């Protein structure tokens, strides 16, 4: 297991560790996003359940009046501020990616761990790991529309291709909670493997949810048409992020933190393909040209970039991004990004990645040249990142 990062007297781990925070016992798991089709997956920990705040302190992604984006549309990177030096995080940072400015944060629930975008990017779904809730925010205002109870320590979220369901992976109750998006009611939880911490949805219609079971070294497929779990698929050690790509989202890619590998899965047959060694502790994955990717929890929007004539997946881990060809399933030369990468989101052009660093930064990376910058301070310990137009 990858070592944690020390902040004063508190050690925040990428995957589960236990530490005393004041009088509160916090179990921390890693971030995603698939991100989902995957959650923008997350760094994770969870204190006792508590209701999150219902008020926003600022509009999500409202451009600065003085910035160049004030006169036109803006792409916004949203970042879950999962934790701080001495307390759980409760905010989502917003970065205007056109002018490189950090905007006013919005108040979220306790320990926001992963995100997914709804239809037309009008709603942002956030798992509040410390509150055992799925929060639904209106974009760009950040107004809370709904809060839906989940299982214990919701760690990742994804939206079905037809927009009917959100699914939430609950790390400490070993379940997947489907949420009907028409009624905003949680359905019966579905049992999956041990410590599920990332989810993505492949296929068409309701789709097949691929749940990464961190503690079991498996992925549990869930048929969302029948709401039934299917036999688990063996992958690498400590699967920590999952994303989908390929024609009709037919291939899942699982980032295995404990074995430095990516496990491809053919979604039509639900069979694993040979693992790909990436030589870094992978915590996030984003597929260029696909739906939403996942960080270690969960969902970032996809992109349409091409490399070598086909889709490219980008894997974050350590201080590196590693490209992986979807056609040949081989890894390319890594890019050093200068921050400890927790999750990433790739722009629609496929030319740029925004990387969430574990020490409170967001870094812009030119994927063709490898140039890094700017690196922006967003505070907290980011758990997930997602891009919205």
CATH of the domain at 228: 2.130.10.10
Is pLDDT above 70 for 376?
Answer: yes
Of residues 308, 307, 387, 317, the one with CA closest to residue 348: 387
- Six token digits for residue 174: 């070993």
What does the alpha-carbon distance between residue 128 and residue 348 come to, in Å, rounded to a whole number? 27
Task: Tell me whether residue 196 is in a domain.
Answer: yes
Of 97-106, 123-132, 221-230, minimum mean pLDDT range:
97-106
Domain span at residue 91? 31-64+72-388
Max avg pLDDT among 99-103, 182-186, 307-311: 182-186
Q: Look at the block and give the residue holding tokens 């709603």.
A: 123
Residue 17 has a pLDDT of 34
User: Higher model confidence: residue 311 or residue 171?
Assistant: 171
Is pLDDT above 80 for 35?
Answer: no
Is pLDDT above 50 for 33?
Answer: no
Residue 12 has a pLDDT of 33
Confidence class of residue 85 from pLDDT cuts 50, 70 and 90? low
Structural element, H or E, at residue 102: strand 101-107
* Length, in residues, of the chain: 389
Structural element, H or E, at residue 181: none
- Six token digits for residue 177: 């909670």
Task: Tell me whether residue 26 is in a domain.
Answer: no
Is pLDDT above 90 for 26?
Answer: no
Is pLDDT above 60 for 249?
Answer: yes
Task: Tell me whether residue 199 is in a domain.
Answer: yes
- pLDDT tens column, 208-224: 999 999 999 999 999 99
- Six token digits for residue 369: 């040249």
Task: Tell me whether residue 10 is in a domain.
Answer: no
Confidence class of residue 266 from pLDDT cuts 50, 70 and 90? very high
The number of distinct structural domains making up the chain is: 1
Count Cβ atoms below 10 Å from residue 44 Cβ, excluding itself: 39
The whole-model pTM stands at 0.81
Residue 83 has a pLDDT of 87
Of residues 110, 119, 57, the one with CA closest to residue 80: 110
Residue 177 has a pLDDT of 98
Task: Tell me whether residue 16 is in a domain.
Answer: no
Task: Tell me whether residue 376 is in a domain.
Answer: yes
Question: Cβ(341)–Cβ(321) under 8 Å?
Answer: yes
Task: Tell me whether residue 125 is in a domain.
Answer: yes
Confidence class of residue 32 from pLDDT cuts 50, 70 and 90? very low
User: Higher model confidence: residue 39 or residue 375?
Assistant: 375
Task: Tell me whether residue 1 is in a domain.
Answer: no
Q: Residue 70: which residues within 8 A CB-CB, separation 6 or more? A: 63, 64
């Amino acid at each position: 297991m990858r070592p944690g990062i020390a902040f004063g007297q508190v050690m925040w781990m990428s995957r589960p560790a236990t530490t005393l925070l004041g009088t509160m016992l916090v179990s921390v798991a890693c971030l995603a996003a698939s991100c989902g089709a995957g959650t923008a997956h997350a760094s994770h920990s969870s204190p006792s359940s508590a209701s999150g705040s219902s008020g926003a302190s600022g509009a999500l992604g409202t451009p600065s009046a003085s910035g160049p984006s004030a006169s036109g549309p803006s792409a916004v990177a949203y970042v879950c501020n999962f934790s701080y030096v001495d307390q759980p995080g409760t905010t989502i940072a917003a970065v205007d990616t056109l002018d490189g400015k950090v905007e006013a944060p919005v108040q979220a629930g306790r320990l926001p761990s992963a995100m997914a975008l709804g239809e037309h990017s009008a709603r942002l779904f956030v798992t509040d790991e410390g509150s055992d809730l799925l929060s639904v925010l209106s974009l760009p205002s950040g107004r809370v529309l709904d809060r839906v109870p989940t299982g214990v320590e919701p760690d990742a979220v994804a939206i079905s291709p037809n927009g009917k369901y959100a699914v939430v992976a609950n790390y400490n109750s070993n379940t997947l909670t489907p949420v009907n998006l028409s009624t905003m009611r949680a359905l019966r939880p579905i049992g999956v493997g041990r410590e599920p911490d990332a989810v993505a949805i492949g296929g068409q219609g309701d789709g097949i949810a691929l749940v990464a079971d961190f503690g079991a070294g498996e992925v549990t497929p869930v048929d969302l048409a029948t709401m039934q779990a299917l036999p688990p698929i063996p992958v690498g050690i400590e699967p920590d992020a999952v994303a989908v790509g390929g024609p009709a989202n037919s291939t899942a890619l699982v980032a295995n933190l404990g074995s430095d590998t990516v496990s491809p899965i053919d979604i039509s047959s639900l069979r694993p393909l040979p693992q790909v060694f990436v030589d870094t502790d992978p915590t996030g994955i984003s597929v260029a040209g696909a739906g939403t990717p996942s960080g270690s929890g969960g969902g970032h929007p996809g992109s349409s970039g091409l490399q070598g004539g086909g889709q490219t997946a980008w894997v974050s881990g350590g201080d590196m991004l590693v490209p992986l060809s979807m056609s040949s399933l081989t890894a390319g030369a890594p890019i050093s990004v200068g921050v400890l990468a927790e999750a990433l989101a790739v722009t629609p052009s496929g030319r740029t990645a925004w990387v969430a660093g574990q020490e409170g930064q967001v870094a812009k990376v030119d994927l063709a040249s490898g140039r890094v910058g700017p690196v922006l301070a967003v505070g907290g310990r980011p758990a997930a990142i997602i891009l919205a137009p």
